[in-house]
């Protein structure tokens, strides 16, 4: 922990979405551990971020070591690897917040909502991990397209769903650290919306020939 | 049809959402038939709109007569009545566009996403009606709160999902007539998102103490 900021582990942080989020958190002064299946690749990804971001406190490790080091753990692997990756480090997640960024796309028709069993990948993950881990769903709708451009104002809000309100607050703080607006979206079952919304946004990207459609929440005070 | 504008039937048009949409379409010069279970109540609702909107061409009828008169039929009944209402007028819907505004809320916990069998109320309706009716899903996220205030700029976009692109275009035109922005959201299965999003918006309304949170699509050209 640095300056009251929790150490963050980003499992799958060698991917585009994970490394983009890691870059923004590193730039905001968080200590970040990039996790990967391969420690060497994770170290290389971390070195790349460290070179690009002055003063960044970022290192790489295999997913198990990253999960052990993180006070909040962020899961940014493809849907097919979601449960296996989290279950492999289950003991290291005990008592922690696990931020699930998983989008349950079913290739090749990624512009069609194809709900997973039970409707929500985050709910299935919570069931698999048990009550000892606080799963919070967030960031599924943030296009990786501009995440690495740290000065780019991302025109998309983050809906944060989870059953533990304090855990949601902690993830909203992470959204804000990444220069995004985060909002309470209700209990974890509401993660259905953000998981499925990504297919709608992909559909909009295709139809309107844009790289990264997003959503803003309206009607709020201020 | 008046001025190339299709005659609209709004089944359940005596309710707050349906009468609000009907008011906006009547104000835009559409011929509107308010449908209700009770013809007298539908006529009274129509008379109220006619009195409020100069030049409005609006009348009331029972749902069967309204469905027969409408070139596009809009379904704005509560979820519990959705399939029964549509199936009762199935013959009158043949070859037409049916705009499904249904939100599959499960009281009392309307701020929790509780998916219907198969995930989408609109998909279930399409299956029940068969291929002779073009079901298009739209308007579930538009709060009734400001619909009747015709000069109020509604700060929410309309995601339009349907398997027939021309039918979606027709519904996008209806959104624009109601002074809303409508967007192609992909095939009808993507209706899951708008149906479930309403629970998230209710959750946001409760959490942030606002009357009508909504969404805007971002990242589009212009």
Per-residue pLDDT reduced to its tens digit, B11-44? 999 999 999 999 999 999 999 999 999 999 999 9
Rounded to an integer, the average pLDDT of A144-170 is: 94
pLDDT digits (tens, 9 = 90+) for A109-142: 999 999 999 999 999 999 999 999 999 999 999 9
Q: What is the pLDDT of residue A3?
A: 76
Longest dimension (CA), chain A: 47
Q: Is A203 close to B193, i.e. CB distance below 8 A?
A: no
Which of A199, A203, A217 minimises the CB distance to B213? A217
Q: What is the pLDDT of residue B215?
A: 98
Q: Do strands B31-36 and B57-62 pair parallel, antiparallel, or not at all (unpaired)?
A: parallel
pLDDT digits (tens, 9 = 90+) for A47-86: 999 999 999 999 999 999 999 999 999 999 999 999 999 9
Residue of A nearest to B186 (CA): A203
Q: Is B112 close to A190, i.e. CB distance below 8 A?
A: yes
Residues of chain A with C-beta less than 8 angstroms from the C-beta of B138: none
Q: How confident is the model at residue A1 (pLDDT cuts 50, 70, 90)?
A: low
Q: Are A68 and A50 in contact (CB under 8 A)?
A: no
How many angstroms away from the CA of B176 is the closest CA of chain A?
A: 17
Is B166 exposed, middle or buried, given 0-12, 13-18 or 19+ CB atoms closer than 10 A? exposed
Return mean pLDDT, chain A.
Answer: 96
Which of B119, B190, B219 minimises the CB distance to A214? B219
CA distance B201 to A219: 10
CATH top class, domain B8-208: alpha beta
Q: What is the pLDDT of residue B136?
A: 98
Q: What is the pLDDT of residue A4?
A: 85
Which of B112, B187, B200 minimises the CB distance to A112? B187
Write the CB contacts of B122 (distance below 8 Å, at least 6 apart in sequence): B100, B102, B135, B137, B161, B188, B191, B195
Q: Is B220 close to A208, i.e. CB distance below 8 A?
A: yes
- Two structure tokens written together for A44: 């290389």
Q: Are B11 and B37 in contact (CB under 8 A)?
A: no
**3-state SS assignment for residue A60:** strand
Q: What is the pLDDT of residue B184?
A: 98
Kindly provide the ipTM of the predicted complex, given to two decimals: 0.96
Q: What percent of chain A has pLDDT over 90?
A: 93
Weakly modelled stretches of chain B, pLDDT under 50:
none
Q: What is the pLDDT of residue B156?
A: 96
Is A131 exposed, middle or buried, given 0-12, 13-18 or 19+ CB atoms closer than 10 A? exposed
Q: Are B62 and B35 in contact (CB under 8 A)?
A: yes
pLDDT digits (tens, 9 = 90+) for A30-42: 999 999 999 999 9
In chain A, domain spans: 8-208
CA distance B60 to B147: 19
Interface mutation target, options A196, A208, A216, A221, chain B, most CBs of B under 10 Å: A196
- Two structure tokens written together for A221: 């005070």
Sheet holding A57-62, edge to edge: A57-62, A31-36, A8-11, A72-75, A97-100, A134-137, A158-162, A182-184
Q: What is the pLDDT of residue B1?
A: 63
Q: Is B112 close to A216, i.e. CB distance below 8 A?
A: no
Residues of chain B with C-beta less than 8 angstroms from the C-beta of A217: 204, 213-215
How many angstroms away from the CA of A60 is the closest CA of chain B?
A: 33
């Amino acid at each position: 922990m640095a300056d009251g900021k929790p150490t963050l582990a980003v499992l799958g942080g060698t991917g585009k979405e994970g490394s983009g989020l890691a870059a923004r958190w590193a730039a905001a002064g968080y200590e970040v551990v990039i996790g990967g299946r391969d420690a060497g690749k994770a170290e290389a990804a971390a070195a790349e971020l460290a070179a690009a971001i002055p003063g960044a406190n970022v290192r790489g490790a295999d997913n198990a070591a990253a999960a052990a080091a993180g006070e909040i753990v962020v899961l940014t692997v493809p849907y097919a690897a979601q449960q296996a990756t989290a279950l492999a480090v289950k003991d290291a997640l005990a008592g922690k917040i696990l931020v699930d960024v998983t989008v349950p796309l079913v290739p090749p028709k990624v512009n069609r909502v194809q709900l997973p069993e039970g409707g929500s990948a985050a709910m299935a993950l919570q069931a698999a991990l048990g009550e000892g881990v606080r799963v919070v769903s967030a960031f599924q709708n943030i296009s990786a397209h501009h995440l690495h451009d740290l000065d780019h104002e991302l025109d998309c809000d983050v809906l944060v769903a989870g059953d533990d309100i304090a855990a949601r607050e902690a993830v909203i703080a992470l959204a804000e650290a990444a220069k995004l607006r985060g909002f309470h979206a209700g209990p974890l079952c509401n993660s259905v919306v953000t998981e499925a919304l990504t297919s709608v946004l992909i559909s909009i990207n295709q139809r309107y020939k844009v790289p990264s459609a997003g959503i803003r929440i309206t009607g709020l005070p201020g």
